[in-house]
Structure 1
Amino acid sequence: MHASKGDHLVVHGRTVGKQDHVVEIVEVLGPNGAPPYRVRAENGHETIMSPGPDSVVDHRKASDQA
């Protein structure tokens, strides 16, 4: 997995009825874009994540999604 600051991390819901969880990558802590990542949720909460196999990186920036 490779990400850059500003990318979005999408964690797919693992059970029926659970929505995907999308957070913004605000800092890449691993070498060459590798995890772990400091991420920020829509509510402003920040945490450090090492994403699992149910996660993908969306490389479109917020300005690209409009």
Structure 2
Amino acid sequence: MHAEVGDKVVIHGRTVGTADRGGTVVEARGTEGPYVVRFDDGHESLVYPGPDLTVVRSTA
């Protein structure tokens, strides 16, 4: 899974009742991750891509 700085990511909830989380890639540390993501609530975290992560390409 490839993402670049500025791309949006969505991490889908893995259990019933768990909400999806969205954020923006602010740093890519490799061609296939991990990525530093700033989530919509302002929290930043190192994210390793997995089957529950979807990348939405930036149009800019």
Q: TM-score, normalised by structure 2?
A: 0.83
Backbone CA RMSD of aligned residues = 1.6
Partner of 1:5: 5
Over the matched positions of the two proteins, sequence identity in percent amounts to 47
**CA distance in structure 1 between the aligned counterparts of 2:13 and 2:44, rounded to whole angstroms:** 20
The number of residue pairs the alignment matches comes to 60
Displacement of 1:45 after TM fit?
Answer: 1.6
Of Structure 1 and Structure 2, the greater helix share is in 1
Which ranges in structure 2 are unaligned for 5 or more consecutive residues? none
Partner of 1:30: 30
Which of 33, 54, 57 is matched with 1:56 structurally? 54
Structure 2 residue matching 1:16: 3-state secondary structure: coil
Amino acid across the alignment from 1:53: P
Which ranges in structure 1 are unaligned for 5 or more consecutive residues? none
